[in-house]
Amino acid sequence: MEQITTARRYQSKYTCFQKFQHSKIASETKKTYTKYLKDFLKFCQFTEFEQLMEMSDSEKYESIMDYLLHLSVEKKLSHTTLMNAYSAIKKFFAINGIKLDWEQISNNCLGRKNGNSNGKIIEDRVYTKEEIIQLLDHADLRMKVIILTMLSSGIRVGGLADLKIKDLQYIEKFQIYKINVYSFDSKEKYVTYCTPECASIINKYLEYRKKIGDSIAPESPLIYLKTSKANGYKKERIEDHYFDKHISSDSIQQSVSRLQHKSQLIPKQSGEKDPTKRAQIRKPMMRCHAFRKIFDTICIENNVNHYVKEKLLGHNAKLGLDVNYFRPTESQLLNEYLKVVNDLTINDENRLSKQIKELQEKNQNKDYIIKGKLQEKEQEINDLKRSMEFLTNRFNAFLISQPENKIVYNEDNDDNNKNNNNTDPANMKGIELKSEINNKAVGKIIPSSSASSSGNKKK
């Protein structure tokens, strides 16, 4: 009996979720997406991600629509949150080769059509300079580093959480740090900078860490994990420092929220402690992303090259094909960044000290130029004096060599000079010229030794 064989189907050795985890997505974005994917899985009442793949296309479509409406209508979450959830699900299915009508889902659930958004409940704004000062006045060194780094570099909160000490390179000439963001990811990595104000705070923060026992190494996190707990009935709290562990982006967000409350910039609202209500509370600005928006705005206002600005923000995707052709040098990036340093500096003291330093450098340059000019004039005068002395000696030598001219000595030594044939120039008073040249004119003489000897012989 002939045996019938069936074609063997290829079985992937990776699960659908493993494919997502190994995809080329920035680490912090991946963490955010994973959170929404797990929430979506729970909403569908599944326990395994493979169950999502087993649904028909129509079931996938309906479940995604229901989930986004659940977040919007029942949980009343912001448009930004809905977009994050939508992007996470779309990315997961796309990586696993599932094609759905994403435009239809977006139009129906996100209130977005042809790129125009009408889904936001309120318009957010950025921090004012006065509000940033208010935050900094109530911040410790660690929080000052967080705020000023996000503001002056435009770095994403996730990128800040991933920074290591080795990712910072100090540029002595400008007293700023060059920051290598996502240095571990060859596709996502990019370079930005921070202001001298921020660099100064980072240096103070690192010195403080050394004092409290942190043996800072290149692999150490820039912002380490720190926890605190109540100390019984006492008011002070016990802090635990984990110098070798990175802070998470969620912890940075929560820390900024606490600072907003502490500084009274945004007072606490009822329901903030309730996780089910917290997401429904609207605030005037995004806690951390608002700093990135400020950076973007200031770059535009200072006419920073558009492509350089996008590079400094790590927006490779927005450059399209230009990302493959436009490769600015680090000096180009730095020169464009230096245009915005003043406007990204919050403390007037720092700005004034920088201006004073610039003025001092200009004055030093002016002083150097003036000193150089004076030295040139002094040299010209000395050269002129030497020329006059040379010409005078030559002329006097000529006069002394003429027999008709007579050397006149000082009266006190006149007889002695004649008798002793003394030709010491110090005793000479001048020369009595022959009458046809000048009627007994007596002039000052500065004779050389050779000239005086010649005159004495002619006498």
Distance from the Cα of residue 232 to its chain's centroid: 43
CA distance 412 to 431: 17
Topology given in CATH for the domain delimited by 129-346:
hpI Integrase; Chain A (1.10.443)
Phi, psi of 440 (to 5 degrees): 55, 35
Give the pLDDT score at 262: 92
Residue 442 has pLDDT above 80, yes or no: no
Give pTM, 2 decimals. Answer: 0.64
Give the pLDDT score at 171: 95
Give the pLDDT score at 40: 94
pLDDT tens track for 287-317: 899 999 999 999 999 999 998 999 999 887 6
CA distance 17 to 34: 9
By percentage, how much of the chain surpasses pLDDT 90? Answer: 43
Supply the DSSP symbol for 170: E
pLDDT tens track for 230-286: 766 666 677 888 899 999 988 999 999 999 999 999 887 765 565 555 555 667 788
Residue 320, number of CB atoms within 10 A of its CB: 9
* Domain residue ranges in the chain: 16-117, 129-346, 365-458
Per mean pLDDT, which of 17-31, 191-205, 430-444 is the most reliable?
Answer: 191-205
